[in-house]
Amino acid sequence: MSKELTIGLVGFGCVGSGLYEVLNQSNLIDATIKTIVVKDREKERSLPKERFSFDVKDIFEDESINTVIELINDSDAALDIVKQALESGRNVVSANKKLIAEYLDELLEIAKRNNVSFLYEGAVAGSIPIIRNLEEYYNNDSVTSVEGIVNGTTNYILTKSNDGIGYEQALKDAQDLGFAELNPTLDVDGFDSKYKLVLLLKHAFGITVNPSSLLNSGIRKISEREVAYANEKGYRIKLFSRAEKVGNKVVAFVAPHFVESSHFAYSVDNEFNAVVVAGLFSDQQLFIGKGAGSYPTASAVLSDVSALKFNYKYEYRKTIENSNLSYSEDFFVRVYVGSSYIESINEIPFYKVDELFQSDKYSFQTGWVHFSDISNIDFNNREQISLVVLPDPLRLAEDFESKSKDGNYQEFEHVAFS
Amino acid sequence: MSKELTIGLVGFGCVGSGLYEVLNQSNLIDATIKTIVVKDREKERSLPKERFSFDVKDIFEDESINTVIELINDSDAALDIVKQALESGRNVVSANKKLIAEYLDELLEIAKRNNVSFLYEGAVAGSIPIIRNLEEYYNNDSVTSVEGIVNGTTNYILTKSNDGIGYEQALKDAQDLGFAELNPTLDVDGFDSKYKLVLLLKHAFGITVNPSSLLNSGIRKISEREVAYANEKGYRIKLFSRAEKVGNKVVAFVAPHFVESSHFAYSVDNEFNAVVVAGLFSDQQLFIGKGAGSYPTASAVLSDVSALKFNYKYEYRKTIENSNLSYSEDFFVRVYVGSSYIESINEIPFYKVDELFQSDKYSFQTGWVHFSDISNIDFNNREQISLVVLPDPLRLAEDFESKSKDGNYQEFEHVAFS
């Protein structure tokens, strides 16, 4: 049953070189990295120059290579390589969340047609085996929500922010430590978290959502004002990728959240990732691990390689069975919106206002918004607006109405300050 | 590929009735519970009497039943049922840790010979998918340690103890809440934790250890003295099932541990379970979930049933590959030993003493002991002795010697007070 793996590795950065070490220095798995393809001929690397090749042809023209591991940054180039590898009947392991989030269904079709495996545990939450668990253990439709901190860079920055260090300084610290890129947009604006959310949606609920249609509101606007609000209420701020069933629909978004101390993720700090899976009957399970870095991600890739030896494939059972589930923006979420300008707050269409604080320097408002009213707002680039989601459960319109009959909630108030 | 499951359920207690509800009321899985066998004819149950059968023959003589789910307390009766089910070519799901810990290799042989599945995720840590993860995701030999809180009853009691409530009161509270049995020995003396540890040893390291040869020191002797020591040092006390590689051997035991605030398990309270898996390259991953109760355990059983539909079997790859690994007691562990009598402490053979506190009423000593010197002591029933393991890593003899050359540690001192 166990199969000889001869590997072509594309990319020798942080994760690629980590994988090389892990595979070659430990004899953990009987697999050989035969060819390593890199782009830059001049770059200093930990192995002698002769060990590298500079053309992927060297992999594709080598009949003995049956497995391609793709670990490069450039997702356009990666797309070509992964497609060609699958088409040529080779198994592929990738950790490229952007590529996979954008082209998953197309790649799956190619993999299926060629009867090969396409595995990508390393693409989500580093060393946490979340894809495998959603695929194998939570393989019936009992999952009700998946919510997590899946980006180590932003969690590191937010941990510092929660401790009173300003965003700019925290970002600089993260860059100095190698956690954040010089251009941190992908991380801090929540794009990375969103690509991962797309993969979680696929494996938790069986639905395909184009990343461009999901809201990603990041952490650049989290200031000492939001931290002060959090401290006052006993919250901490965490960037969540969140997917859950609300009624018979699936909702999903990336946004900073105020988190109560009773929440599993409250004390998950620094570069750690955490994913909470809730089921109809299984209550909640929490998975914590290092979300980034050479070895943690390499070990996820290694586990995929190890699974290939036994011809493991994702089955996407939920995709087949749950074809009736669909993505929806028809729900209400309770949010905090802060700004130096009350006018900016008033542009956000609140359905019901719970608190309004106004001063010369800073204002904020909390209350319920209908998600479809805010899902198209580019909070990352909108001047002077901070959005943070409050801990209340998401609601459907009927939840408000039915609850209000019991007198538990007020009726909607459409509020517009002017 | 998907297979019709017709189930014979043996046992309709907390987990069995939970499973019935989950399976029948939710249409999560296309599987039918055809026959339910129970022992007590008179007991009031949530289903009408006609629904029950009182003889397992009704399962074994029914050719249409291809799956047996065994959820009874009596492990001797369970052994017969499981054996007969496997021998008759039926798949078996069980949550009976005592049975499995004591007879696993024998049962596996029968399952293998009859080419059927024997799954038991519900036997360890309730809703946490730890067996599946060890089996599938950590399927190479990179796991270096598995350590966890796998008994909800004792964790509940210790949580109260850490909060200053005495053992007797905490136990009573746990009993009132239904967390603890009237005869709590299996839980509080660490037997339940030990059975689970045997299963973790099998799936993490591929080794079979007879439960009777493993130390289980429980929590009955944890008094306000130990809690005071913990508070003074900033520790909390947790009952750990612990298995790890020390050198090229595997060590394992169940004992109360002082846990530092930086440890993953520090804030895992009440009936929650937590398991930390550490790998050579993957750092640490933490899994948290509810460890007991009707639905959490039933959902683990459900996930096994769901896997049966796809003919899933545990592969025990590590058992095959790691035949060179063996269980060892040849290591040193740093412990706290407390007692009202200094004589009782002096009976414990310390290799090196770090602290000694003596008073009229209570004394304690901390330091290093060689595990084989204490592994045969019945701490649960030894008068007047509390054992708690300190947070220091376990050590081999050569660790002491090599470290002492650097001046980091003192040489061994064989100490005997008289």
CA–CA dist B299, B252 (Å, integer)? 28
Q: How confident is the model at residue A384 (pLDDT cuts 50, 70, 90)?
A: confident
Put simply, the answer to whether B22 touches A281 (Cβ < 8 Å) is yes
CATH number at residue A91: 3.40.50.720
Provide the token pair at A93.
């392991």
Instruction: Check whether residue B186 and residue B278 sit in a common domain.
Output: yes
Q: Which chain B residues are Cβ-neighbours of A129 within 8 angstroms?
A: 133, 137, 285
Looking at the partner chain, which of B28, B282, B296 has a beta carbon nearest the beta carbon of A127?
B282
Looking at the partner chain, which of A282, A287, A296 has a beta carbon nearest the beta carbon of B282?
A296
Specify if B415 maps to a domain: no
Shortest Cα distance, chain B CAs vs residue A141, angstroms: 6
Task: Answer yes or no: A43 catalytic.
Answer: no
Q: Which chain B residues are Cβ-neighbours of A284 within 8 angstroms?
A: 289-290
Question: Given this model, what pLDDT does residue B409 score?
Answer: 46
Q: Which chain A residues are Cβ-neighbours of B140 within 8 angstroms?
A: 28-29, 302-303, 306
Specify if B412 maps to a domain: no
Specify if A247 maps to a domain: yes
Instruction: Check whether residue B119 and residue B52 sit in a common domain.
Output: yes
Looking at the partner chain, which of B28, B139, B289 has a beta carbon nearest the beta carbon of A283?
B289
Sheet of strand B67-70: strand arrangement = B52-53, B31-37, B5-10, B67-70, B91-94, B118-119
Structure confidence by residue, pLDDT tens digits, B12-68: 998 899 899 888 766 667 889 999 999 998 899 999 999 999 999 999 999 999 999
Domain final residue pick, A123, A155, A170: A123
Looking at the partner chain, which of B28, B142, B283 has a beta carbon nearest the beta carbon of A141?
B28
Instruction: Check whether residue A253 and residue A191 sit in a common domain.
Output: yes
Segments forming the whole domain that contains residue A152 = 130-291
Collapse the DSSP code of A216 into the 3-class scheme (helix H, G, I; strand E, B; otherwise coil) and give the result.
strand
Instruction: Check whether residue A140 and residue A240 sit in a common domain.
Output: yes
Structure confidence by residue, pLDDT tens digits, B245-272: 998 899 999 999 999 998 888 989 988 9
Nearest C-alpha in A relative to B136: A307
Q: Which chain B residues are Cβ-neighbours of A133 within 8 angstroms?
A: 129, 132-133, 137
A263 shares contact with chain B (CB less than 8 Å): no
- Could you tell me which of A293, A285, A297 has the C-alpha nearest to residue A127? A297
Q: What part of B 312-371 touches A (C-beta under 8 Å)?
A: 315
Collapse the DSSP code of A266 into the 3-class scheme (helix H, G, I; strand E, B; otherwise coil) and give the result.
helix
Q: Are B302 and B23 in contact (CB under 8 A)?
A: yes
Residue of B98, B196, B202, B352 marked active site: B196
Instruction: Check whether residue A154 and residue A275 sit in a common domain.
Output: yes
Specify if B297 maps to a domain: no
Counting Cα atoms < 13 Å in the Cβ hemisphere of B224 gives: 6
Specify if B365 maps to a domain: yes
B144 shares contact with chain A (CB less than 8 Å): no
Instruction: Check whether residue B278 and residue B400 sit in a common domain.
Output: no
CATH number at residue A260: 3.30.360.10
Q: Which chain A residues are Cβ-neighbours of B310 within 8 angstroms?
A: 139, 315
Instruction: Check whether residue B113 and residue B198 sit in a common domain.
Output: no
A310 shares contact with chain B (CB less than 8 Å): yes
For residue A399, pLDDT over 90 is answered with no
Q: What part of A 28-87 touches B (C-beta under 8 Å)?
A: 28-29
For residue A392, pLDDT over 50 is answered with yes
CATH number at residue A353: 3.30.70.120
More confident residue, A232 or A294: A232
Specify if B299 maps to a domain: no
Instruction: Check whether residue B141 and residue B249 sit in a common domain.
Output: yes
Instruction: Check whether residue B140 and residue B258 sit in a common domain.
Output: yes
Specify if A415 maps to a domain: no
Domain final residue pick, B91, B123, B155: B123
Nearest C-alpha in B relative to A261: B267
Instruction: Check whether residue A101 and residue A157 sit in a common domain.
Output: no
ipTM here: 0.85
Question: Given this model, what pLDDT does residue B282 score?
Answer: 78
Instruction: Check whether residue A147 and residue A279 sit in a common domain.
Output: yes
Put simply, the answer to whether B288 touches A283 (Cβ < 8 Å) is no
Specify if B414 maps to a domain: no
| Domain count within chain A | 3
Which of A49-53, A411-415, B308-312 reaches the highest mean pLDDT? Answer: A49-53
Instruction: Check whether residue B266 and residue B162 sit in a common domain.
Output: yes
Question: Given this model, what pLDDT does residue A222 score?
Answer: 94
Residue of A196, A221, A290, A318 marked active site: A196
Where would I find the H helices in B234-315?
294-308
Structure confidence by residue, pLDDT tens digits, A165-191: 988 999 999 888 877 777 899 999 999
Collapse the DSSP code of B46 into the 3-class scheme (helix H, G, I; strand E, B; otherwise coil) and give the result.
coil
Q: Which chain B residues are Cβ-neighbours of A285 within 8 angstroms?
A: 127-129, 287-289
The alpha carbons of chain B give a radius of gyration, in whole angstroms, of 23
Strand residues in A291-417 grouped as ranges (E): 332-339, 350-357, 363-370, 386-389
For residue B229, pLDDT over 70 is answered with yes
